[in-house]
């Protein structure tokens, strides 16, 4: 009897784990042969490859296809290789693809994922509606003094590692961005620059560290979504720490804006205005008009926004800025041009890193853009079909509701069809005279369309200010242990990292 039960269980598991595997075959879409339960995503489940690495492999394996089939577990997904289809998904037909689909259960969403990045539908739209003004030019200028203060501290800390055999610039820039986000988001001096083992630096690392528990939880939620809908993707201690952090700040301010003009103040001001009210992106009245929906800005929702602002704010910027330093170390001719520009611009601004000064650093911006092309911090985008059926007219392919579409940004950025010598670091491809040659929707470091990165300009200004602060006084070069092409971190989830960091030798500049 026991043997019969085992056989029945195994057969049931097999049938469950293969029930969708004819999805792309029926539609004539090329794809790798899926493995029962795991689909074509086994290596990512085993933490041997990040999702970005998997998407890049698929992209490169089928060079003649506009789209390629994929199975994350048993869920069919579509990897898009064509810029016109990418434009359609992100912009033209955005109303059918407004969800990212990171929350498999719309009714069961863990608290910290109710943020502007992970949220879908009306929750996302209402949050985005209120938060977009927080990143206006005026707001950026008002908070730039925080960037300046942290950039000056960064120079002091860099002095301490000058002439060491090597120092991990990935960690150096992460300490800078963590410190900035601490002040900008919470009004707290996190002191990550003076103490690389600070509590907040550890918290930041934990957000993007994928431990065994996290890998198992993530895999189970994808492979058995109904059984695991109440399982949290994020670790309990991370949730507890973020709640404690935000609650402490709120209590210290008596739940009222403090005049610091930081992110917590912004959310408290939003709450004072009452419920967020707007037109629904999901629900329609009988006459076809959008229903009016509302959202309460409670403590948990505020914590979720603070969580993503903290995590995304330091991680993506530190990755982008440190990889820029890495590339400049291997290309001293470009580093020299960047440094000469920084010197010239700062001389006009009394050697102060102001908002206007950074805006004038065009060659630095070109080097930053090129680094983001070669190694975008967020290396893939996901959008989910939100209507019962949708037909992609370019290829006459119909997909169903909840099917996710993946856009492999990193792979597109390194495709020779769109970028000459794509593996070569060349900032001048973004020169005013040549950048117009770059085709639309093939350069997407901040995404595109209504769900593009709301904090893109803040992240870029923070990164460029940090780079200018370092390169004004110091030069970088490869150390004995530096790898020219660093290996991507296979446990990466949303943001990309590097195996072993980015060790470089930092020297004090000898100016004439």
Q: Residue positions in the annotated binding site for heme?
A: 453
How do beta strands 404-407 and 503-508 pair? unpaired
| Three-state SS at 24 | helix
Task: Report in angstroms the alpha-carbon separations of 101 from 93, 383, 403, 467, 491.
Answer: 16, 6, 9, 35, 20
Q: How many residues does the chain have?
A: 512
Contacts of 155 (CB under 8 A, 6+ apart): 469, 470, 472, 473
Alpha carbon distance 83, 412 (integer Å) = 9
Alpha carbon distance 74, 329 (integer Å) = 44
Alpha carbon distance 336, 323 (integer Å) = 17
| Three-state SS at 235 | coil
Residue 290: which H helix or E strand, with range?
Answer: strand 290-295
Please report, in range form, the residues annotated as the binding site. 453
- 241-245 long-range Cβ contacts below 8 angstroms, 24+ apart: 241/203, 241/206, 242/112, 242/203, 242/303, 242/306, 242/307, 242/310, 243/111, 243/300, 243/303, 245/186, 245/203, 245/306
| Three-state SS at 487 | coil
Q: How far apart are the first and last CA of the chain?
A: 87
* The two structure tokens encoding residue 480: 């004995």
* The two structure tokens encoding residue 412: 């597109």
Helix 236-252 crosses helix 169-186 at what angle (to 10 degrees)? 40
* The two structure tokens encoding residue 56: 């890049």
């Amino acid at each position: 009897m026991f043997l019969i039960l085992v056989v029945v269980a195994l057969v049931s598991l097999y049938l469950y784990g293969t029930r969708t595997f004819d999805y792309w075959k029926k539609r004539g879409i090329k794809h790798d042969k899926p493995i029962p339960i795991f689909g074509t995503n086994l290596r990512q489940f085993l933490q041997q490859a990040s999702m970005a690495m998997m998407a890049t492999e698929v992209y490169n394996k089928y060079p003649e296809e506009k789209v390629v089939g994929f199975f994350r577990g048993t869920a069919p997904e579509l990897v898009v290789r064509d810029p016109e289809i990418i434009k359609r998904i992100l912009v033209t037909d955005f109303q059918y693809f407004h969800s990212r689909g990171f929350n498999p259960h719309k009714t069961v969403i863990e608290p910290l994922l109710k943020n502007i990045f992970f949220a879908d539908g009306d929750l996302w739209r209402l949050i985005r509606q209120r938060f977009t003004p927080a990143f206006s030019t005026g707001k950026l200028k008002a908070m730039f003094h925080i960037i300046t203060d942290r950039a000056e501290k960064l120079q002091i800390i860099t002095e301490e590692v000058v002439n060491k055999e090597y120092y991990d610039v990935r960690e150096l820039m992460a300490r800078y961005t963590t410190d900035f986000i601490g002040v900008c988001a919470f009004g707290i001096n996190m002191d990550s620059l003076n103490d690389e083992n600070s509590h907040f630096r550890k918290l930041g690392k934990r957000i993007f560290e994928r431990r065994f528990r996290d890998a198992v939880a993530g895999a189970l939620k994808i492979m058995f979504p109904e059984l695991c809908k109440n399982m949290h993707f994020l670790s309990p201690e991370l949730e507890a720490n973020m709640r404690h952090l935000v609650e402490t700040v709120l209590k210290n301010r008596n739940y009222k804006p403090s005049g610091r003009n930081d992110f917590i103040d912004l959310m408290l001001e939003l709450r004072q205005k009452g419920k967020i009210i707007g037109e629904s992106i999901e629900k329609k009245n009988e006459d076809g008009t959008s229903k009016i929906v509302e959202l309460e800005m409670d403590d948990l929702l505020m914590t979720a926004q603070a969580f993503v602002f903290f995590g995304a704010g330091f991680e993506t910027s530190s990755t982008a800025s440190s990889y820029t330093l890495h590339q400049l170390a291997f290309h001293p001719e470009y580093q020299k041009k960047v440094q000469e520009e920084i010197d010239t611009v700062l001389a006009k601004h009394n050697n102060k890193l102001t908002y206007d000064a950074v805006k004038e650093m065009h060659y630095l911006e070109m080097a930053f853009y090129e680094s983001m092309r070669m190694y975008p911090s967020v290396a893939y985008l996901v959008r989910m079909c939100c209507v019962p059926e949708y037909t992609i007219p370019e290829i006459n392919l119909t997909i169903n509701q909840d099917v996710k579409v993946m856009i492999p940004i990193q792979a597109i950025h390194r495709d020779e069809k769109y970028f000459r010598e794509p593996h070569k670091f060349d900032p001048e491809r973004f020169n005013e005279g040549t950048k117009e040659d770059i085709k639309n929707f093939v350069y997407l470091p901040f995404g595109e369309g209504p769900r593009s990165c709301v904090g893109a300009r803040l992240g870029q200004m923070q990164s460029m200010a940090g780079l200018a602060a370092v390169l004004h006084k110091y030069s970088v070069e490869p150390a004995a242990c530096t790898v020219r092409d660093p290996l991507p971190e296979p446990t990466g989830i949303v943001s990309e990292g590097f195996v072993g960091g980015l060790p470089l030798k930092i020297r004090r500049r000898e100016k004439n």
